[in-house]
Structures are given as C-alpha cells and as structure tokens.
Amino acid sequence: MNAPSRIGEVMALDRLVHEPARLLILAVLANAKEVEFRFLEQVSGLSKGNLSSHMSKLEAGGLVEVKKSFRGKRPLTELRITAAGRKALADYRQSLAMVMRELPTPGVVAKRK
C-alpha cells in the first residue's frame, strides 16, 4: 500500500515502449496482422521521417519486423509485431497498471488526517 514500497516500478518502464509514438505504433500493430507504412502515417499523424526512425528503432529492438516489397510498381513497407514485441507490450502494460495504482486517485486528496 505504501507508495515508496512500489515506487521503483515507475523507473523500470521500458523506454523503447514508453515513447508515445512507439507505443501507438505497437498498439496498432498488436491489433492487426500486418500494417502498412502509409496507414500508420495517417492514423498517427507522425511525419514520414519521424515514423521511419521510430520504426527503425522498434526493428533494432526486435519488437517489430519490417517487410519490404512492391505493390504494382510502388515500394510497399509493411510492419508486423514480433513475439518479443508482444511481450514487451504486455510487460509495459503490467508496469503501467502498477504505476496507475501508485498515482493518487482523484479523491485521495481528501484523505486528510
């Protein structure tokens, strides 16, 4: 119950996942078999450059796989989440849940004494 006892959880958050842009990407990927670069660009509102670099980081970290091909004559980049990616996301979610418990509930303020 005591905040300090679990306070360390916050610092253990996986920074690769914690970054909002990447968290968004992972969340989308986790809900679809395979997602196109263009789609991600649109739903995220990220610039191409920014998206591209986050993508590379996720790939470098092994959380995501990138498949390059052609649709017709145009380049096509598709992303898929890996098993490690799912695990990282699940772990992150778990940590978040703990963190949420540490955060004061709206109303805890009134717990004066």
Partner DNA sequence: CACAACATGTTTGCAATGCAAACCTATTTG
Partner DNA sequence: CAAATAGGTTTGCATTGCAAACATGTTGTG
- Catalog residues that contact a copy of itself under the rule CB under 8 A: 3-4, 7-8, 10-11, 13, 18, 20-21, 23-24, 27-28, 30-31, 43-45, 86, 89-90, 92-94, 96-97, 99-100, 102-104, 106, 108-109
Radius of gyration, CA atoms only, the chain: 18
Does 42 engage in binding with DNA (CB under 7 A)? no
The answer to whether the beta carbons of residues 75 and 60 sit under 8 Å apart is no
Beta strand 74-81 with 35-36: parallel, antiparallel or unpaired? antiparallel
Structure tokens given for 92? 């992150």
105 DSSP 8-state letter: P
- Residue nearer to DNA on the CB measure, 73 or 113: 73
Closer by beta carbon to DNA, 9 or else 36: 36
Q: Across-strand partners of 11?
A: none
Q: Which residues here bind DNA, judged by CB under 7 A? A: 15, 19-22, 36-38, 46-57, 68, 72-77
